[in-house]
Amino acid sequence: GCETVVFGASTSVVTTNATTLVPPPGIQVSSGNSFTVAVMLAQVEEARRKMGIRRDARLAVVGAGGNIGSAIVRWFAQQGRWHGPILITGRPGSRARLSELQAELEAFSSTPRIEISENINDLQSCDLIVVAISGDGVVLQSHHVDPFRTVLVADVSQPRAVAASLA
């Protein structure tokens, strides 16, 4: 029988990340965010290796203050996973939330620099960009990415947040 139920789409919003659900005994329940993060990380790691992007490159997580974005950046910041600088970004007004995340990451990470930005133009210097936002439409355009370097852009946003020209 079934041991785990993973909800999808926007169910994390209506179930408070599946915490308001009472599953039957022996059944685990997830909002789907953890599954989304796991799948995204596996795909990003495979693409990064194929493209030759090293672990000491500059990484950005757009939407790092959200559930999915913060989980992604926590994974990369764990000891030994990422050796280059990490830029955590969010929408204007998210600096306090990003600062809390920065302090948390710096407490356990071996990453040399964890920087904060609310300016999407700061992505120009990044080699790997993970976008994890919701509801803002397309925020990452081709002019935000350096055209003279190899850049991996991964979008886990709903709806899509990366311009078709970067796909």
Render pLDDT for 23-73 as a digit per residue (tens, 0 to 9).
888 988 887 787 889 899 999 999 999 999 999 999 999 999 998 999 999
59 Cβ partners below 8 Å, 6+ apart?
76, 82, 84, 85, 86, 87, 126, 127, 128, 129, 130
Render pLDDT for 88-134 as a digit per residue (tens, 0 to 9).
999 999 999 999 999 999 998 888 899 999 999 999 999 999 999 98
- The pLDDT assigned to 9 comes to 66
> When comparing pLDDT for 21 and 126, which is higher?
126
- The pLDDT assigned to 22 comes to 85
